[in-house]
Structure 1
Amino acid sequence: MTTAPATSAVTPVFSPLDLQSRSLGWQFGAVVLGTLFLAVSSYIEVPMVPVPVTMQTFAVALVGALYGWRLGFITITAWLVQGALGMPVLAGGAAGAHHFIGPTAGYLFAFPVAGALMGWLAERGWNGRRVVLAFFGMLLSNAVCLLLGAAWLAVIIGAEQAILAGVMPFLVGALLKSALAAATLKLLSRGRMRPAAQ
């Protein structure tokens, strides 16, 4: 009786960081670095009313794609908690719990959901090895931020104004940031292949 030879199939690594197989210490360090990355992205902004344009959605989607949905959700939530506690990590160095009840609240609460969605998609192949799918995943992540953010904004200023002020100005930016995030993910994933589990 003979056994079939082992195949040498190769599958894409879900994430070039491969955090799901790392120790808790590694994962804790990743959360700390992730919150720093999110904070830095918050300082890159174009002032607008009622919500500024920042690189936050770029960072949120990328953290989700690199960390996976669970660790991505934890990291983004930890960053928001830092902001709520008074650390200057929100848009333009803003801080304080009042941002979580004002015009930006819907966007802020949407960030962990958007990051988790991108992480969930990345774990299912929408990652750097399939850059077109990664791009559409990034777009979906951005769409979640815009939809949930505008839904809250509509409570404050009405649905029509929420769409005009809270969605329309950000559409081009969402496309550009999604493309940049997908390209970054592809660049980070280059050369990272491993044999499939036997």
Structure 2
Amino acid sequence: MSNATSRSLQQDLLGLNNRPLTWQAGAVVFGTAFLTLSSYISVPMIPVPVTMQTFAVLLVGALYGARLGTITVLAWLLEGALGLPVFAGGAAGIAPFLGKTGGYLVAFPFAAALTGWLVAQGWNGNRVMLAFAAMVLGHVVCLAGGAAWLAVLIGGKLAFMYGVVPFIVGTVLKSALGAATLKAVTHLTAKPAK
């Protein structure tokens, strides 16, 4: 891995990767709590509910950077796998990974990493349309992972109809909200000119 690639994986909007390990651990705890809260904002649908999880996953990736964002999402997934009720509707254990939500859950760390990396490349609040595109691409990773696993369970056509189509409007809205959040954070964290 080149030094430039390594640096871009560690860049983040909040400067967390330059903080002591205790700060980073605290950020992971806060991030997993944020991801859990987002899971409880849910609209029941069949076969997969609409939640704010993807928004939270991508925002954690964007704000924490690719490395720490991915670690945070993996920690949250581990909490759920160990039985803590952190997933949509309070679900926990291995069943969500094997059921219809499994592909989405597995895709989340990749989506966080991609979004964090894109933000480190300048797709951030200074360039709102690129920030929006970063969020959309993160959602595409989530939808592709979710639909791929659903295709195994219910077939390709049904997976697309039930695992992608109902989430398109939400993808656009959550991506716009994510881009607006990045713009606000970038404005708040900008160093004043001397």
TM-score under structure 1 length normalisation: 0.89
Tell me, in whole angstroms, the C-alpha distance in 1 between the residues paired with 2:104 and 2:175.
17
Q: CA offset at residue 17 of structure 1?
A: 1.5
Tell me, in whole angstroms, the C-alpha distance in 2 between the residues paired with 1:86 and 1:92.
13
Question: 1:125 and 2:105 equivalent?
Answer: no
Question: 1:82 and 2:79 equivalent?
Answer: yes
| TM-superposition CA deviations, 1:47-91 (whole Å, max 9, x none) | 001100000000011000001101011000000110111101001
- TM-aligned CA distance change 1:131 to 1:15, over 3 Å: farther
Q: CA offset at residue 191 of structure 1?
A: 4.3
Question: 1:185 and 2:182 equivalent?
Answer: yes
Alignment partner of 1:65 out of 62, 66, 70? 62
Alignment-mate amino acid for residue 115 of structure 1: A
CA contact (8 A) 1:15 1:189 kept: no
CA contact (8 A) 1:57 1:111 kept: yes
Question: 1:151 and 2:148 equivalent?
Answer: yes
Match of 2:96 in 1: 99
| TM-superposition CA deviations, 1:125-148 (whole Å, max 9, x none) | 111121111100000000000011
CA contact (8 A) 2:40 2:89 kept: yes
Tell me, in whole angstroms, the C-alpha distance in 1 between the residues paired with 2:188 and 2:84.
38
Q: Report the count of equivalent residues.
A: 182
Answer with 1 or 2: which has the greater Rg: 1
CA-based RMSD: 1.2
- Tell me which protein shows more helix as a share of its residues: 2
Alignment partner of 1:46 out of 32, 39, 43? 43
Question: 1:116 and 2:113 equivalent?
Answer: yes
Tell me, in whole angstroms, the C-alpha distance in 2 between the residues paired with 1:87 and 1:138.
28
Q: CA offset at residue 192 of structure 1?
A: 2.8
Alignment-mate amino acid for residue 172 of structure 1: V
Match of 2:6 in 1: none
Question: Which sections of structure 2, spanning at least 5 residues, go unmatched?
Answer: 1-10
Q: CA offset at residue 193 of structure 1?
A: 3.1
- SS of equivalent residue, structure 2 residue 85: coil
Match of 1:17 in 2: 14
User: Structure 1 runs of 4+ off > 4 angstroms?
Assistant: none
Alignment partner of 1:165 out of 148, 162, 168? 162
Alignment-mate amino acid for residue 37 of structure 1: F
